[in-house]
């Protein structure tokens, strides 16, 4: 994929963005697919190669209809965090759409999320990354968003504003991308993560 240059983001209120999120969730054009394997691990792709994959937008729409409280909580978090995301993105010179895409993929806007490898908070910062960006409390949304967004800015600088490689590095680490010839590392998780985030990024760009 050709590099995608970052552009200045525009202010957006949390309420308006929450409305836009509903459009994103129910969009028939979000061609990202997901399936959970026998270990409960979710796999994402934009090129499904077997029948176990289901369209993510359809699952999200069903989730919203069948779990109204959960859907409302998600939209509430988006509305609450949108101003902080906008501020951090503006300070770092990163598109807010990209930050929203990463948060959606990493934690689903859950500020208390913890991964099986110890990544924490909205942008799933590893402890070493949190320390690197002076994040003292990774579960504090303001600190987490600011640290994660600054990390994204550094990755974009490192890979000449190539969003695809910056996203790959956010998932696998910058050294892995460099070690594999400045290409997406051949890790199953990263190979699934990159198209998922880029698909979300494109959709959020139409809303911001």
How far, in Å, CA of 9 to CA of 201, rounded? 13
Residue 187 CA to chain centroid, in angstroms?
Answer: 18
With CA atoms as reference, report the closest residue to 94 among 199, 190, 167. 167
How far, in Å, CA of 60 to CA of 185, rounded? 28
Under a CB-based contact definition with an 8 Å cutoff, are residues 34 and 50 in contact? Answer: no
How far, in Å, CA of 175 to CA of 5, rounded? 22
* Sheet-wide strand order for 54-55: 42-45, 33-36, 54-55
Catalytic residue at 42?
no
86, 106, 164, 174: which one is catalytic? 106
Judged by DSSP in three states, 47 sits in: coil
- The residues carrying an active-site annotation are 106
């Amino acid at each position: 994929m050709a590099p995608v240059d970052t552009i200045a983001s525009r202010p957006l209120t949390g309420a308006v963005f929450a409305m836009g999120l509903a459009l994103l969730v129910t969009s028939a054009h979000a061609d990202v697919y997901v399936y959970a394997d026998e270990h409960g691990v979710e796999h994402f792709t934009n090129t499904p190669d077997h029948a176990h994959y289901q369209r993510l937008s359809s699952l999200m729409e069903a989730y919203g209809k069948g779990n109204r409280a959960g859907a409302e909580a998600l939209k509430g978090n988006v509305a609450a965090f949108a101003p902080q995301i906008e501020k951090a993105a503006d300070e770092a010179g990163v598109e807010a759409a990209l930050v929203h895409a990463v948060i959606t993929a990493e934690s689903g806007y859950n500020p208390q999320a913890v991964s099986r490898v110890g990544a924490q908070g909205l942008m799933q910062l590893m402890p070493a990354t949190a320390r690197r960006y002076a994040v003292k409390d990774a579960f504090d949304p303001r600190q987490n968003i600011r640290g994660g967004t600054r990390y994204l800015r550094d990755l974009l600088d490192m890979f000449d504003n190539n969003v695809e490689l910056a996203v790959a590095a956010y998932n696998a680490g910058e050294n892995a991308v460099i070690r594999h010839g400045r290409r997406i590392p051949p890790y199953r998780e990263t190979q699934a993560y990159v198209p998922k985030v880029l698909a979300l990024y494109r959709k959020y760009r139409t809303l911001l």
